[in-house]
Chains A and B, each alone.
Chain A
Amino acid sequence: MKNHQRRRLRSVVALILCSGAAGCATVKPWDRDLLAKPEMQFVTCAQLHAIDEHVYFSKEASLGGSSLAGGGCGCN
């Protein structure tokens, strides 16, 4: 593994650990009214998200992120 790849990997691990450490913050079940809203998600509409992924996949060279998109299309 090259040095710059190792540094990136360390950054990812650090980010994940920071997220975990922040979990010490407590939000009681009765305080989760806002979090329980359907719009309080990273992806609020699966259909629109899938269309976005498809359009950007066809126009750009990047792929990935938070979804397991394998392409599945001859457009790029």
Chain B
Amino acid sequence: MQLDAPERPRAVRAKLRTATCLLLTAVAPRFAHAADPPAPPVPASPPTSQIDLTGLFYSERIRVLEPTMRYTRTYSSGRSFFGQVSVDSVTGASPNGTLPTGRTQTVTSASGRSRSVSANSIPTVNFSDTRIALDGEWQQPVKMFAFSLGGHFSHEKDYQSEGVTGRVAIDLNHKLTTLSLGGGYNNDVVSPVGGTSVGMAPYGELTGAASNPKHVKTALVGVSQVLSRKWLVGVSASLSSEDGYLTDPYKALSIIDATTGIPLAQVSEQRPDTRQRRSVQGDSVYHFTSNILYLSYRRYWDDWGIGSHTIDARYRLPVTSAAFVEPHVRFYTQTAADFYRFGLVQGAPLPQYATSDYRMAGLQSVTLGATIGFAPGGRRRTSEWTVRAEYVGQFGDSSPPGTVGVQTRIDLFPAVNVFSMVVNYRFNR
């Protein structure tokens, strides 16, 4: 910016100088000279309220309908609070971990619902559930610090979660650098419908426990940095420690004949009761002349042997001053857990831990989608609509090593195709 270009008219130069001084005073009051006369008090602007109404429509083997309402109150001091309530309604069929038999079979869920599964299909069980979740967070800036404290509660018929989070952000280097430190704790209870299965025992054998505790502790450290007028980057690392009941109570494994591959029996899965997760994520936001590119990369690994890479890219294109289009693409790949087995072979000793949950297998995910945002009020932006449609495809090994007999002729990892749409309406009061 050439504020003192000699060819500029004097009046314009004076106005620019005044505007610059005002701007400096506003954004960097701590640099004001001690001998300067005190600035006249600025009347505090009234607090503002913002309401977000969001609806998620999600479809694959299961269907999810999730309306959410969030209320955000922001004060002129920078203090803010939000409270959110959401209701998550899920119905559909979920794989129970067992293998196709090559013949039509009947599968019964933990709640006693039966369904017929065709010869070469992955067995699934019907289920439905409704989850209610409450979330809230309070933020308070104090000089160069910004503190936030959050709480979470959710309940569904077989799972309840209570959690707290705390975070502090520290502005450094004239607000060009922000250091963040945070932690969280979740105290959850798993109460399987039909009772808790004995791991690696015949499916249906119960421990007698009606509910099982699960605890999650999370720590996060991050730094974000302004690199230029157009470029913001950040890197963060997180550590999560879980203990308690980490097994999926509704998943079983088939025990197959070593030659024919035909399932002969089922045992309940069993996972370790501790898990250490680690991740490192890098983010970048770059403003071109008018478009904005968002990039992120996450590396994840845990002591169950799972490692993953995630690349996420979004590109925001303004259509008008009050509307934008934002294509989105995401790639994800993970390795299998050490104890993942597509099935167990009859006669071989049972392992201590095993799961055939496809989410613990090696897999790849691709997300393609786009978001459209527009503000009917034009530049005043009293309300905004955001509509997003996405496809997620998950792909894995359809014939993993060790398959024999009938299993070699069946696709053991049929592609999972997820279609989702989110509508968000935001208005200010």
Contact = CB atoms under 8 A, between A and B. Distances in A.
B300 A64 contact: yes
A42 B156 contact: no
B50 to A, nearest CB: 11
B229 A64 contact: no
B24 A29 contact: yes
A48 B422 contact: yes
Interface stretch (B108-116, B175-183, B197-205): B175-183
Nearest to A19: B225
Interface residues of B, number: 97
Given A19-B223, A35-B226, A62-B334, A41 B285 contact: yes
B190 interface: yes
Interface string B207-222: 0000000001010101
A40 B292 contact: yes
B230 interface: yes
B240 interface: yes
A23 B173 contact: yes
Contacts of A20: 177, 223, 225
B280 A8 contact: yes
A72 B20 contact: no
Interface in B82-130: 90
| B contact face: mostly helix, strand, loop, or mixed | strand
Given A22-B225, A29-B28, A39-B292, A15 B235 contact: yes
Interface string A46-76: 1110010001100111111111111111111
A6 B164 CA distance: 30
Contacts of B254: none
Nearest to A21: B225
Given A30-B24, A51-B422, A61-B334, A68 B225 contact: no
Contacts of B224: 19, 42
21 contacts: A15-B235, A19-B223, A22-B225, A25-B226, A34-B287, A39-B324, A40-B285, A41-B232, A42-B224, A42-B294, A42-B296, A56-B365, A59-B359, A60-B359, A61-B308, A62-B298, A63-B300, A64-B298, A64-B300, A66-B238, A74-B190
A-B residue pairs, 9 tightest by C-beta: A74-B159, A64-B279, A70-B186, A72-B161, A68-B184, A64-B238, A62-B300, A29-B27, A65-B281
Interface of B: 1, 20, 23-24, 27-28, 52, 54, 56, 58, 66, 68, 70, 90, 131, 133, 150, 152, 154, 156, 158-159, 161, 163, 165, 167, 172-174, 176-177, 182-186, 188, 190, 216, 218, 220, 222-230, 232-238, 240, 248, 277-283, 285, 287, 292, 294, 296, 298, 300, 302, 304, 306, 308, 310, 316, 324, 332, 334, 337, 359-360, 363, 365, 371, 386, 388, 392, 394, 416, 418, 420, 422, 424
Given A15-B235, A61-B337, A70-B218, 8 more contacts: A12-B280, A19-B233, A39-B324, A64-B300, A65-B238, A68-B167, A68-B238, A73-B156
